[in-house]
């Protein structure tokens, strides 16, 4: 991947559909402000908000100024820079679902750019997924898909395999593939990218990164919060669609992929697709023994999922899922990948844990069965980003008692070096035209193709097990039992937390 120096700034006009929504104020505007503050944006850039709320340009600027004060860290706020940044903001009040309103957008863009056919356009769909298939077609009707325009689409890209294929067909009829940026903010996180550097920039790990030395791999992405008043959205999605089909399977791919011939967009994304295509197809046995669905239930004064706002009292939507999956290729055959995600768990953490095989013979002393664990590599993506390697060392003193110790690196130890915001990184890549960290159409379909049988099974078997787990616990006990056949266990950090906002040190 070739990174552009900040001196090679690219002109752009970004149009944000859903500009008065939560994603825009919490993530997009703070990320764009960060790029502006760091002098990484072309001086002539413009940002055009699109929404149904009635704002003038001045009112929209004032609104976003207040939001920036709330969602940008205090130490990052600079009143002068904020005022300069919001002067680049504009607004169009229109209904994104109504094709008749798009001439208003065209007229506004012509006014801002001074071009009859506006160029360097970057569309961001911060809208409900129901609009993902409509907006591109409406843009095409007013020729706003021309002149090198790019479009960024949030997840979920499709609800199942069929809807993903239909969306791909719509986008292919409006844009070329190199104009489409399917965004997954997990890949914008520094530690997620560091998996690749860790694997491919250090030759000491490559010889052992395979079935001969690795016993099993965990991929975990859990959080302590519930659905936070998003019941209307979440109940139609669930944990598999919300997290597993995109975020977790991407992390599996980063862990399992072969080194690209060249580290550019095509080389990287080709290897991701190869991993997806190598996933062992799910069977009836998997549905019954290697997939665990859960839903959080009341614990004390903390409500259960079915008590949340806009959630039906009989809902069978999963808020937790754990799965055992396999990769059928030369490197990973026989190595299980255990993945899990859930809400209302003890803490918020996203990490990959690589469990190496045990030594073939334990020759050192083990007092009362306290033998050193097998080597373990922990790649923490959030929070407290870092990497830890656990290995056995001799205890000081006489004899040869061996215990597990850690060698670790965390980004907070770099002092004042900022790791940057994931959205800022990905938005800059879009502006520069770098698609490396964005999902390609064949990867979307390959991922959905793998999970489709499971979704079909749940649809056809309404009585398929759905286990309750109390708020603040690590999910259904059945997810522990699922790992027994491989003598594996989940790595549950911070088991003794008293405050769910805390997280453990690596």
Does residue 176 belong to any structural domain of this protein? no
> In terms of Cα–Cα distance, which of 213, 185, 184, 197 is closest to 387?
197
Q: Could you tell me if 197 and 131 lie in one domain?
A: no
Give the per-residue pLDDT at 445.
96
Which residue shows structure tokens 């065209």?
106
- Highest average pLDDT, of 390-404, 410-424, 448-462, comes from 448-462
Quote the distance between the C-alpha of residue 100 and its chain's center: 35
Q: Are 145 and 136 in contact, with CB atoms under 8 Å apart?
A: yes
Task: Write out the residue range of the structural domain in which residue 200 sits.
Answer: 187-358+441-485
Q: Is residue 25 part of a domain?
A: yes
Q: Are residues 48 and 110 in the same domain?
A: yes
Q: Is residue 26 part of a domain?
A: yes
Same domain, 289 and 239: yes
| 322 pLDDT more than 80 | yes
Binning pLDDT at 50, 70 and 90, where does residue 416 land? Answer: low
Convert the pLDDT of each residue in 364-396 to its tens digit: 666 655 666 788 999 988 887 888 888 877 777
Q: pLDDT digits over 197-252, tens only? A: 888 888 888 899 999 999 999 999 999 999 988 888 899 899 999 999 999 999 99
Domain check: are 31 and 109 in the same one? yes
- How many CB atoms neighbour CB 166 within 10 A? 13
Residues 24 and 71 in one domain: yes
Question: What residues contact 482, with CB distance under 8 A and at least 6 apart?
Answer: 289, 290, 292, 322, 324, 338
Tell me, what's the pLDDT at 106?
Answer: 97
In a domain, 454, yes or no: yes
Cis peptide before 313 (omega within 30 of 0): no
* CATH code for the domain of 38: 3.40.50.720
Would you say residue 415 lies in a domain?
A: no
Of residues 247, 290, 355, 486, which has the active-site annotation?
247
Do 344 and 481 belong together in one domain? Answer: yes
Q: What percent of the chain has pLDDT over 70?
A: 92
CA distance linking residue 229 with residue 316, whole number of Å: 17
Tell me, what CATH number does 254's domain have? 3.30.360.10
Distance CA 443, CA 449 (A): 10
CA distances from 174 to 15, 150, 153, 161, 263 (A): 17, 11, 14, 20, 28
pLDDT for the residue 368? 55
Distance CA 344, CA 142 (A): 46
Q: What angle do CA 302, 307, 309 make, to 5 degrees?
A: 110
Q: Other C-beta atoms within 10 Å of 190: how many?
A: 17
pLDDT 10s digits, 448-464: 999 999 999 999 998 99
> Are the C-beta atoms of 123 and 86 separated by less than 8 Å?
no
pLDDT digits (tens, 9 = 90+) for 354-370: 999 988 776 766 665 56
H or E element that contains 270: helix 265-278
pLDDT bin (cut points 50, 70, 90) of residue 496 is: very low
Answer yes or no: is pLDDT of 3 > 50. Answer: no
Residue 173 lies in a domain: no
* d(C-alpha 189, C-alpha 195), whole Å: 11
Interval 109-137: pLDDT, tens: 999 999 999 999 999 999 988 999 999 99
pLDDT tens sequence across 138-183: 999 999 998 789 999 988 888 999 999 999 999 999 999 999 999 9
Residues 230 and 104 in one domain: no
Residues 334 and 450 in one domain: yes
Do residues 240 and 107 both lie within one domain? no
Q: In this structure, what token pair is assigned to residue 291?
A: 């997939």
User: Known catalytic residue: 138?
Assistant: no
207 three-state secondary structure: helix
Answer yes or no: do 27 and 144 share one domain: yes
- Are 238 and 285 within one domain? yes
Mean pLDDT (the chain) is 89
Q: Considering its fold, how many domains does the chain have in total? A: 2
- The pLDDT value recorded for residue 385 is 80
| Residues 219, 312 within the same domain | yes
| Cβ within 8 Å of residue 502, ≥6 positions away | 347, 494
Query: Any residues with CB less than 8 A from the CB of 350 and at least 6 apart, and which?
Result: 186, 220, 221, 222, 251, 380, 381, 382
Contacts by residues 277-281 (CB-CB < 8 Å, ≥ 24 positions apart):
277/446, 278/327, 278/328, 278/329, 278/332, 279/325, 279/326, 279/327, 279/328, 279/450, 280/325, 280/326, 280/327, 280/328, 281/450, 281/453
């Amino acid at each position: 991947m070739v990174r552009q120096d900040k001196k090679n700034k690219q002109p752009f006009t970004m149009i944000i559909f859903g500009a008065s929504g939560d994603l825009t104020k919490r993530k997009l505007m703070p990320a764009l402000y960060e790029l502006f503050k760091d002098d990484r944006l072309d001086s002539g850039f413009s940002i055009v908000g699109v929404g149904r709320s009635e704002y003038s340009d001045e009112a929209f600027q004032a609104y976003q100024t207040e939001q920036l004060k709330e969602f940008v860290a205090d130490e990052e706020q600079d009143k002068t820079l904020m005022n300069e940044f919001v002067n680049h903001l504009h607004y169009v009040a229109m209904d994104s679902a109504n094709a008749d309103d798009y001439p208003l957008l065209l007229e506004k863009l012509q006014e801002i750019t001074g071009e009859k056919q506006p160029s360097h356009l970057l569309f961001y769909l911060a809208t409900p997924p129901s609009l993902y298939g409509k907006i591109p077609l409406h843009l095409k009707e007013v020729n706003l898909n021309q002149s090198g325009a790019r479009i960024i689409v949030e997840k979920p890209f499709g609800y199942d395999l069929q809807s993903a294929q239909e969306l791909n067909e719509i986008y292919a009829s409006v844009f070329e593939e190199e104009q489409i940026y399917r965004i997954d903010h997990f890949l914008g996180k520094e530690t997620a990218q560091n998996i690749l550097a860790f694997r491919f920039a250090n030759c000491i790990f490559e010889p052992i990164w395979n079935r001969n030395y690795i016993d099993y791999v965990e991929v975990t992405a859990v959080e302590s919060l519930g659905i936070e008043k998003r019941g209307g959205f979440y109940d139609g999605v669930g944990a598999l669609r919300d997290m597993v089909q995109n975020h977790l399977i991407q992390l599996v791919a980063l862990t399992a992929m072969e080194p690209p011939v060249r580290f550019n967009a095509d080389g990287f994304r080709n290897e991701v697709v190869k991993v997806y295509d190598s996933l062992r197809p799910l069977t009836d046995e998997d549905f019954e023994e290697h997939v665990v669905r859960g839903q959080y239930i009341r614990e004390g004064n903390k409500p259960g999922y079915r008590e949340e706002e806009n959630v039906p009292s009989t809902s069978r939507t999963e808020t937790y899922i754990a799965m055992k999956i396999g990769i059928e290729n030369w490197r990973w055959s026989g190595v299980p990948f255990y993945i899990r995600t859930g809400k209302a768990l003890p803490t918020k953490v996203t990490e990959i844990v690589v469990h190496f095989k045990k030594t073939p013979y334990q020759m050192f002393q083990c007092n009362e069965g306290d033998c050193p664990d097998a080597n373990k590599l922990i790649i923490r993506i959030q929070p407290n980003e870092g990497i830890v390697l656990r290995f056995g060392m001799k205890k000081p003193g006489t004899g040869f008692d061996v215990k597990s110790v850690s060698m670790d690196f965390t980004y907070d130890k770099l002092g004042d070096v900022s790791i940057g915001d994931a959205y800022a990184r990905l938005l800059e890549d879009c502006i520069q035209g770098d698609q490396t960290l964005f999902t390609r159409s064949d990867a979307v379909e390959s991922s959905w193709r793998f999970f489709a049988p499971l979704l079909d099974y749940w649809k056809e078997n309404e009585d398929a097990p759905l286990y309750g787990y109390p708020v603040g616990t690590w999910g259904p006990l059945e997810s522990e039992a699922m790992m027994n056949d491989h003598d594996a266990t989940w790595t549950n950090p911070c088991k003794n937390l008293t405050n769910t906002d805390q997280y453990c040190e690596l």
